[in-house]
């Protein structure tokens, strides 16, 4: 990946008040979960170094692991080309998924392109 | 990751007509891009083995690489615990990003939790 670090890199919250946020394990490179961030969650994540998100269903800020203890220490944040998605490279404590699975993406669909 | 393969694993398009779709490189494990899928895009991806998405800005189906040739052969599809996000493990031809970068997440924000 490119290594363009800039303090001006941030999502375009004016256009997209909620942006998709992908959490990827820094060690295994496994994609752990997808959640949402508004400006408040973004700023708290930057300020504290721990992942904060915005819950769409509960319409409120949450710190990942606030009840379970399964926090995400954020090592790196990347913003995509059209500034409506972010990628967090994290150290995950415990499982990321509320089901107890390591990743929320634990179910596999049938192989694509396979007959019938 | 768990290895639960089921033909019934699919996003809940009834609740979420558009689901977030993450494309991850099968070889490098790099997260390449985030796009959106509706049921049509999902079914075409499964049927053809090539990633199809729904463009929110143009409100239409697109096949990744349809003009650039930078297609994504989908090796594996995973669905998250609440069925509103999918993870595609892909073989990416050429760069994934329209800017020519390998990944759309080529810009890095300042290190989180750092002073200043």
Q: Report yes or no: B53 and B32 within 8 Å, Cβ to Cβ.
A: no
Position A70 scores a pLDDT of 97
Q: Is A27 helix (H, G, I), strand (E, B) or coil?
A: coil
Confidence of residue A115 (pLDDT cuts 50, 70, 90): low
Instruction: Name the DSSP class of A9.
Output: -
ipTM for the assembly: 0.92
Q: Which residue of A has its CA nearest to B35?
A: A85
Nearest CA in chain A to B114: A47
Instruction: Tell me whether strands B60-63 and A107-108 are parallel, antiparallel or unpaired.
Output: unpaired
Residue among B80, B99, B105 whose CB faces A87 most closely = B105
Q: Which of B48, B78, B105 should we substitute to test contact with A (largest number of A Cβ atoms within 10 Å)? A: B105
Which residue in A has a C-alpha nearest to residue B36's C-alpha?
A: A20
Q: What is the pLDDT of residues B80-100, one digit of tens each?
A: 999 999 999 999 999 999 999
Is residue B46's pLDDT more than 90?
Answer: yes
pLDDT at A110: 86
Average pLDDT, chain A: 92
CA distances from A7 to A10, B11, B110 (A): 8, 36, 6
Report chain B residues whose CB lies below 8 A from the CB of A106.
1-2, 4, 78, 81
The answer to whether the CB of A72 falls within 8 A of the CB of A93 is yes
**Residue B112 pLDDT:** 86
> Is residue A116 scored above 90 in pLDDT?
no
Taking 60 as the threshold, does the pLDDT of residue A1 lie above it? Answer: no
**What is the percentage of chain B residues whose pLDDT exceeds 90?**
86
pLDDT single digits (tens) A31-73 = 999 999 999 999 999 999 999 999 999 999 999 999 999 999 9
Residue A67 is predicted with a pLDDT of 94
CB contact (8 A) between residue B80 and residue A113: no
């Amino acid at each position: 990946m490119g290594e363009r670090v800039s303090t001006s890199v941030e999502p375009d919250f004016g256009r997209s008040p909620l942006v998709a946020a992908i959490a990827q394990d820094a060690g295994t490179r496994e994609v752990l979960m997808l959640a949402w961030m508004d400006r408040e969650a973004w700023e708290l994540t930057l300020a504290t170094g721990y992942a904060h998100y915005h819950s769409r269903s509960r319409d409120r800020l949450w710190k990942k692991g606030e009840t379970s203890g399964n926090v995400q220490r954020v090592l790196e944040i990347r913003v995509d080309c059209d500034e409506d998605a972010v990628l967090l490279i994290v150290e995950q404590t415990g499982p990321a998924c509320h089901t107890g699975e390591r990743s929320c993406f634990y179910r596999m669909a049938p192989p694509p392109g396979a007959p019938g």
